[in-house]
Amino acid sequence: MSTLKHKGKGPQSLTANELREGLNVWLTKDFEWSRDFSDALLSEDADVIEKMQTIGDRDTDTNLVVGVYFIDVSAETGLPSRYRERFRVKGPSYDTAFELNPNSKPRE
Amino acid sequence: MYRYDEFDHDIVQNRVKQFRGQVERRLSGALSEAEFRPLRLMNGLYLQLHAYMLRVAVPYGTLNAKQMRQLAMIADKYDRGYGHITTRQNIQYNWPELTDVPDILQDLSDVEMHAFQTSGNCIRNVTSDPYAGATAEEVEDPRPTAELLRQWSTMHPEFTFLPRKFKIAVTASKTDRAVIRAHDIGLEILRNSDGEVGYHVIVGGGLGRTPIIGVTLKEFLPRAELLPFLEATMRVYNRYGRRDNKYKARIKILVQETGIEEFSKQVEAEYASLKPSEIAVSDAEVKRITDYFKGPDFADLPEVDAGYQSALDQDKDFAFWVENNVADHKVVGYAIANISLKVSGRAPGDVSSEQMRSVADLSETYSFGEIRTTHQQNLILPHVKVSELHSLYKALKTKNLADGNVGLITDIICCPGMDFCALATARSIPLSQAITERFIDPIRQRAIGEMQIKISGCINACGHHHVGHIGILGLEKAGVEFYQIKIGGDASENAAIGDVTGPGFSYEETVDAIERLVDYYIEIKQGDERFIDAYRRLGMAPFKEVLYGAG
């Protein structure tokens, strides 16, 4: 039985963390996982959302990802509705790693 | 400092092997995340907003050079080249991968370190005065007591699944540098009227969403009764602490709801039912532990060093650094040197691997290889010859570690906030940087004097904002950050919870608001009065008016 609960409104995206590396990922149109939110599948279609849920459960069970959940996405901006989720998409606004390694940039 | 005995080695090595197996089983699917989560948390591994985070224990904030170099190696090999000193004197890494964590724990164990008790509902890493063993103020070095508590609490079978986490701090000076009154249990080592050394036991303090200053549970507890008495206290908490609501599960809530008199009776009744001799350790064991902290072989040095006096006269930046960052040592001719990790443009408490190695090298050159971490998120070299302070300062300067701002307005305690933390509601690091930039002028900082700004990115208060002279709490509404300001908090022996000034400010407005408070204080300060003293003298009204206008 699925542990996912889709209670959102408007376009939905499915997010999780990679089990091994821990980084944030979003389910893509190809039903793979991407670290880049711009690849994310956004859908309001109930059938598609159900399939997203199935994939999320499967990839949790196969230990690919951890902590899968749906997020609301703003139809206007194409970005997550919640402030916290926008932060997960953008990455930290500050990281000492940026100073130590100027090539490591926050995700846009 | 303490060296592992065979039991410590076995415990740590076995834990590494155990966790390696647990990770393998998690990756294979033999363990679900629900099953694995409490196991990883027992080893300091969190899943944060963007990635895993590993918190490494630094018991009572004491490190040696070898350990610091290993922490630097771990930062480079497994993380992104830096670590973050926390308000529990620990160090955490923001970007480890799960598959590397068993190797990290192995590397830590090689230098007698681990990540026990840095998470979970157990007795957490015991903190202490970072000046321990160096300050003349102390009755005795508090670290043998902290080490005793570490050994007693490590994997204690009764206290591994408490209602909630449990934090203990130990100090031995009247000046409180360990915030003992904001701990579940705070211990102050003192002498009674007969000259016997024992403990003033404070219970039920804490910050978080319900900030409370701890109250006295025992005015004077004889030394030999420490462990049995704490065991009795923990048992009462374990039995009656609430498990139905995690927000009401800390001992502070139990003490408030029970009342300190009744709580004290319960502890005494529990104590009476114990056999103290089965819990207390022998004098020989106390001596064995204490002997590890005897301290280095200090040289006999003159009270005055002409070279030092001359450097103070000729190098004004050095004199400023000494004024704020150097404290008196118990041994003539030595000093305690604070290394500020509150560097302009850097997150408070962050230290690069290169800086870690430099501090390790400098500790060997100047401080018998000893290093301390502080709850203020700085580092300390505890035993520096006064005659060598100037050369230490010049060496620190080349590593961007010579900011002379300890205790001043830019020495900000700050949690990771929304930039890293899964629980945060607003950013705290960028705000701390903006405040630092506004007050960067050292002359202005000196004019403001002692000032503690503390910033938390959510109500869990990891940035200690409740006890900041100025405390800032980051919140979010409808996708917009705003910041509530408190004033009048105090983390010292005169501990106090700050008062909320009024409605919050936007991110853009907050630095201006802080500046208005500070400018007003400068205008009305009397003599050497600190900001906190001025607030106590005048009360909230004038400060509120400065922030929000009249009426």
Inter-chain touch A83–B476, beta carbons under 8 Å: yes
Closest CB to B81 among A67, A94, A97: A97
B452 touches B492 (CB < 8 A): no
Q: Which of B485, B468, B354 is nearest to B411 (CA)?
A: B468
Q: Are residues B172 and B267 in the same domain?
A: yes
What is the residue whose two structure tokens read 């923990």? Answer: B234
**pLDDT tens per residue across span A36-68:** 999 999 999 999 999 999 999 999 999 999 999
Chain B residues touching A1 at Cβ < 8 A = none
pLDDT at A35 over 90: yes
Q: Are residues B424 and B528 in the same domain?
A: yes
Terminus-to-terminus CA distance in chain A, angstroms? 36
Closest CB to B347 among A20, A66, A96: A96
Number of domains in chain B: 4
pLDDT value of residue B2: 78
Q: Are residues B417 and B503 in the same domain?
A: yes
Q: Are residues B431 and B323 in the same domain?
A: no
Query: Alpha-carbon distance B142 to B190, whole Å?
Result: 10
B527 assigned to some structural domain:
yes
Higher pLDDT, B416 or A108: B416
B387 touches B310 (CB < 8 A): no
- In angstroms, the separation between the Cα of residue A75 and the nearest Cα of chain B is 16
B441 assigned to some structural domain:
yes
| Cβ–Cβ contact A34 with B under 8 A | no
Closest CB to B51 among A23, A82, A101: A23
Q: In what order do the strands lie in the sheet with B91-93?
A: B45-47, B52-56, B91-93, B82-85, B350-352
B435 assigned to some structural domain:
yes
What is the Cβ-side half-sphere exposure of residue B164, based on CA atoms within 13 angstroms? 20
Inter-chain touch A84–B430, beta carbons under 8 Å: no
Inter-chain touch A20–B98, beta carbons under 8 Å: yes
What one-character DSSP code corresponds to residue B98? G
Q: Are residues B346 and B426 in the same domain?
A: no
What is the residue whose two structure tokens read 């408007």? Answer: A10
Ramachandran class of B400: left when φ > 0, alpha when ψ lies in -120 to 50, beta otherwise: left
CATH of the domain at B375: 3.90.480.20
User: pTM for the full model?
Assistant: 0.96
Chain B residues touching A64 at Cβ < 8 A = none
- Helix B6-28 to helix B101-109 angle, to the nearest 10 degrees? 170
What count of other Cβ atoms lies within 10 Å of the Cβ of residue A82? 15
Per-residue pLDDT of chain B (551 residues), as tens digits, is 778 888 889 999 999 999 999 999 999 999 999 999 999 999 999 999 999 999 999 999 999 999 999 999 999 999 999 999 999 999 999 999 999 999 999 999 999 999 999 999 999 999 999 999 999 999 999 999 999 999 999 989 999 999 999 999 999 999 999 999 999 999 999 999 999 999 999 999 999 999 999 999 999 999 999 999 999 999 999 999 999 999 999 999 999 999 999 999 999 999 999 998 889 889 999 999 999 999 999 999 999 999 999 999 999 999 999 999 999 999 999 999 999 999 999 999 999 999 999 999 999 999 999 999 999 999 999 999 999 999 999 999 999 999 999 999 999 999 999 999 999 999 999 999 999 999 999 999 999 999 999 999 999 999 999 999 999 999 999 999 999 999 999 999 999 999 999 999 999 999 999 999 999 999 999 999 999 999 999 999 999 999 998 76
pLDDT value of residue B5: 82
pLDDT value of residue A81: 93
CATH of the domain at B242: 3.30.413.10
Q: Are residues B150 and B223 in the same domain?
A: yes
Average pLDDT over residues A10-27: 97
pLDDT value of residue A108: 42
Query: Alpha-carbon distance B427 to B476, whole Å?
Result: 10
| Cβ–Cβ contact A103 with B under 8 A | no
| Cβ–Cβ contact A77 with B under 8 A | no
CB pairs under 8 A between A and B: 88
pLDDT at A105 over 90: no
Chain A interface, best mutation among B25, B418, B437, by max A CB count within 10 A: B418
- In angstroms, the separation between the Cα of residue B388 and the nearest Cα of chain A is 30
Inter-chain touch B26–A19, beta carbons under 8 Å: yes
Point out the domain boundary residue: B291, B323, B357.
B291
Chain A residues touching B33 at Cβ < 8 A = 60, 66-67
What count of other Cβ atoms lies within 10 Å of the Cβ of residue B112? 18
Inter-chain touch A94–B347, beta carbons under 8 Å: yes
Point out the domain boundary residue: B61, B93, B109.
B109
Q: Which residues contact B38 (CB under 8 A, 6 or more apart)?
A: B120
Inter-chain touch A100–B33, beta carbons under 8 Å: no
Closest CB to B419 among A19, A21, A94: A94
pLDDT band at A25 (very low <50, low <70, confident <90, very high): very high
B297 assigned to some structural domain:
no
Chain A residues touching B29 at Cβ < 8 A = 61-63
Chain A residues touching B352 at Cβ < 8 A = 96, 100
- In angstroms, the separation between the Cα of residue B182 and the nearest Cα of chain A is 29
pLDDT at A5 over 90: no
B406 assigned to some structural domain:
no
Give B32-63 as a 3 state SS string: CHHHHHHHHHCCCEEECCCCEEEEECCHHHEE
| Cβ–Cβ contact B81 with A under 8 A | yes
| Cβ–Cβ contact A1 with B under 8 A | no
Chain A interface, best mutation among B22, B80, B92, by max A CB count within 10 A: B80
Q: Are residues B242 and B146 in the same domain?
A: yes
Chain B residues touching A66 at Cβ < 8 A = 33, 47
Inter-chain touch A63–B28, beta carbons under 8 Å: yes
B141 touches B133 (CB < 8 A): yes
| Cβ–Cβ contact B78 with A under 8 A | no
Range of the domain at B25: 6-109
B528 assigned to some structural domain:
yes
Inter-chain touch B27–A101, beta carbons under 8 Å: no
Query: Alpha-carbon distance B505 to B481, whole Å?
Result: 9
Chain A interface, best mutation among B28, B33, B506, by max A CB count within 10 A: B33
Q: Are residues B453 and B392 in the same domain?
A: no
Q: Which of B62, B60, B57 is nearest to B296 (CA)?
A: B62
Closest CB to B97 among A20, A63, A81: A20
- In angstroms, the separation between the Cα of residue A51 and the nearest Cα of chain B is 22
Q: Which residue of A has its CA nearest to B46?
A: A22
Inter-chain touch B476–A61, beta carbons under 8 Å: no
pLDDT band at A3 (very low <50, low <70, confident <90, very high): very low
- In angstroms, the separation between the Cα of residue A45 and the nearest Cα of chain B is 26
pLDDT value of residue A1: 34
Query: Alpha-carbon distance B526 to B521, whole Å?
Result: 9
**How many angstroms separate the Cα of B310 from the Cα of each of B304, B305, B307, B333, B534?**
11, 9, 5, 16, 36
**pLDDT tens per residue across span B357-397:** 999 999 999 999 999 999 999 999 999 999 999 999 999 99
Please name the amino acid found at residue B325: N
Q: Are residues B233 and B317 in the same domain?
A: no
Q: Which residue of B has its CA nearest to A100?
A: B81
What one-character DSSP code corresponds to residue B112? T
Chain B residues touching A21 at Cβ < 8 A = 51, 97-99
B299 assigned to some structural domain:
no
What count of other Cβ atoms lies within 10 Å of the Cβ of residue B478? 5
Q: Are residues B497 and B536 in the same domain?
A: yes
Query: Alpha-carbon distance B197 to B190, whole Å?
Result: 6
Q: Are residues B154 and B64 in the same domain?
A: no
B300 assigned to some structural domain:
no
- The tokens of B307 are what? 């070279």
Q: Are residues B330 and B383 in the same domain?
A: yes
- The tokens of B434 are what? 């903006």
Query: Alpha-carbon distance B223 to B154, whole Å?
Result: 20
Exposure string (b/e) for A43-52, b if CB count within 10 Å is 16 or more? Answer: beeeeebebb
> Which string of DSSP letters, residue by residue, matches B380-408?
EEEEEEGGGHHHHHHHHHHTT-----TTS
Q: Which residues contact A22 (CB under 8 A, 6 or more apart)?
A: B47, B51, B52, B96, B97, B98
